[in-house]
Amino acid sequence: FMTYANDRNLREKLYKAFVSRASHGEKNNSQIIEEILSLRTKQAKLLGYESWAELSLSTKMAKEINNVEKLLEEIRKPAFKTAKNELVRLNKFSKDNGFPISEDLQSWDISYWSELLRKEKLNLDQESLRPWFPLNDVLKGLFKLSEKLFDIKVIEARNEAPIWNDDVLFFNILNKDDEKIASFYLDPYSRPESKRGGAWMDECLNKNNIGKNTLPVAYLVCNQTPPSKDKPSLMSFDEVQTLFHEFGHGLQHMLTTVNLPQAAGINNVEWDAVELPSQFMENWCFHKNTLLNIAKHYKTGEKLSNENFEKLVKNRTFNCGMATLRQLHFAITDIRLHSNLYNNQDKNSNEIRNEISRNTTVIKPIEEDKFLCCFSHIFAGGYSAGYYSYKWAEVLSADAFSMFEEADLENNQNIKAIGKKFKDTILSLGGSIPPLEVFKLFRGREPKTDSLIRHLGLSSVN
């Protein structure tokens, strides 16, 4: 609605209602937030930590609050500069197209005018590209890429394993000697009556050689459009990225060489590092040869045009400054609320958030904005002092992918050599050693933010 509704007054009404949820009368979470933060601090101190953030980070790759703050700040500076430039561009575009000269864009205008600008600049209709992404061709391309990178074979196995629905597929993974080393289920289609939305990877069996030797088996679950009588399952580009993402998780589970199930695959991998393989695989969707070898029209066999590929690449970074800054605003607010930085100041959480917003938003929160009252990720979910992990893992995956870029993505010999190194470290070692050590074994150094800043198209701060 916020993206497509022409009525600005209705957008404003909906926006103000949305950002003020759970902040009125009996449904007001404001005091509950303060209680949660207070109790978390007490709990942390009982366990010997200065703050909840210290306690939370003790089991994560980041380890220390300063490490989180440093990484977020390295991304914040170019994101802030880029977002300001994007807002200037959006203001000019809106005024050129009838928005009142005397007014500035407000929060309820951004999505609407951004979509109009996106259409004018990119002329990209992702729905119209579905015919170029039939599931079977996408799977062939994904498996071919994995075979090139990791020296494995992915073979469909019919009638080999029990399935819970006729749509479910089962595959075996073979090593270079054609020995079976793992398997996975793929449940690709939406079934609202029996299956929740979204996409995920989960463990069916963990690798284990204690007693009976057990090979790893994964579940990969998606929710795309089923095939019909006259056409196969046609995927959106977002769904293609999602499949690559979940397969990345699956690869870490299935290609592990750790034989103890408690540390094999994704087990015992720190929260802020577990998305590395999944986000790494997404990067290949923006590699021209990889995507164009996948994208063929299901009827004509025509390849996706270079023009449409370039549009998808440009769409990746469209208004990325504002999108990145939004995530950083949440992450910085979360880590500081849980760091006890404001213990001796007479400020509530919303006032602290508004203070942080000076450097993390380009349109300041309005008076009605009580978003913290419904920020369930950090107050009711598992992301307290951990919201930063989204960006932390993006840094790891972009930096890992940049090693392939530096070796020339078209040089198959180099790519295979680095792919083997990625498999022998990131995908193999699971939770057997700390993720920073695993990353250094692969990359030869600690992670840097440069590659993510470049991939996001963020401005240089120099």
**Digit-coded pLDDT (tens) for 310-342:** 999 999 999 999 999 999 999 999 999 999 877
DSSP code for 460 = P
Extract long-range pairs of 370-373: CB within 8 Å, 24+ residues apart: 370/19, 370/20, 370/21, 370/22, 370/23, 370/30, 371/19, 372/29, 372/33, 372/333, 373/20, 373/21, 373/22, 373/23, 373/28, 373/29, 373/30, 373/33
For residues 398-408, average pLDDT:
97
For residues 283-307, average pLDDT:
96
For residues 444-451, average pLDDT:
96
**Digit-coded pLDDT (tens) for 371-387:** 999 999 999 988 999 99
**Token pair for 379:** 């107050």
Buried (b) or exposed (e) across 220-240, using 16+ Cβ within 10 A? bbbbbbebeeeebbbbebebb
**Digit-coded pLDDT (tens) for 186-229:** 999 999 999 999 999 999 999 988 878 899 999 999 999 999 98
First to last CA, the chain: 38
Model confidence at 83: pLDDT above 80: yes
Per-residue pLDDT at 344: 65
Closest C-alpha among 429, 422, 425, 392 to residue 407: 422
Instruction: Please give, one letter per residue, the 3-state secondary structure of 174-213.
Output: ECCCCCEEEEEEEEEECCCCCCCCCCEEEEEECCECCCCC
CATH topology assigned to domain 130-304 = Neurolysin; domain 3 (1.10.1370)
How sure is the predictor about 76, in pLDDT bands with cuts at 50, 70 and 90? Answer: very high
**Token pair for 381:** 């979910």
Closest C-alpha among 251, 55, 67 to residue 146: 251
Contact 3, 11 (CB under 8 A): no
Catalytic residue among 203, 246, 270, 394: 246
**Beta-sheet pairing, 153-156 with 180-189:** unpaired
**Digit-coded pLDDT (tens) for 136-149:** 999 999 999 999 99
What number of H helices and E strands is found in the chain? 17, 5
Say yes or no: do domains 23-123+319-462 and 130-304 share a fold: yes
Order across the sheet with 180-189: list the strands. 153-156, 169-174, 180-189, 217-224, 200-205
Closest C-alpha among 332, 330, 373 to residue 350: 373
Q: 171 by DSSP, 3-state: which?
A: strand
Average pLDDT, the chain: 95
pLDDT-wise least confident of 10-14, 276-280, 343-347? 343-347
Q: Establish whether 246 is a catalytic residue.
A: yes
- Give the Cα separation of 334 and 264 in Å (integer): 31
Q: Can you state the angle between helices 435-443 and 389-406, rounded to 10 degrees?
A: 20
Give the residue carrying structure tokens 């597929």: 169
Per-residue pLDDT at 345: 74
How sure is the predictor about 305, in pLDDT bands with cuts at 50, 70 and 90? Answer: very high
Closest C-alpha among 112, 460, 141 to residue 289: 141
Closest C-alpha among 372, 273, 392 to residue 328: 392
How sure is the predictor about 433, in pLDDT bands with cuts at 50, 70 and 90? Answer: very high
23-123+319-462 is classed CATH 1.10.1370.10:
yes
Q: 275 by DSSP, 3-state: which?
A: coil
Model confidence at 461: pLDDT above 70: no
**Beta-sheet pairing, 200-205 with 180-189:** unpaired
Give the residue carrying structure tokens 């009404």: 13
What percent of the chain is modeled with pLDDT above 90?
94
Model confidence at 462: pLDDT above 70: no
Contact 142, 173 (CB under 8 A): no
- Give the Cα separation of 365 and 351 in Å (integer): 11
Domain ranges of the chain: 23-123+319-462, 130-304
**Digit-coded pLDDT (tens) for 20-40:** 999 999 999 999 999 999 999
- Give the Cα separation of 362 and 87 in Å (integer): 8
Pick left, alpha or beta for residue 408 (phi over 0 → left; psi -120 to 50 → alpha; otherwise beta): left
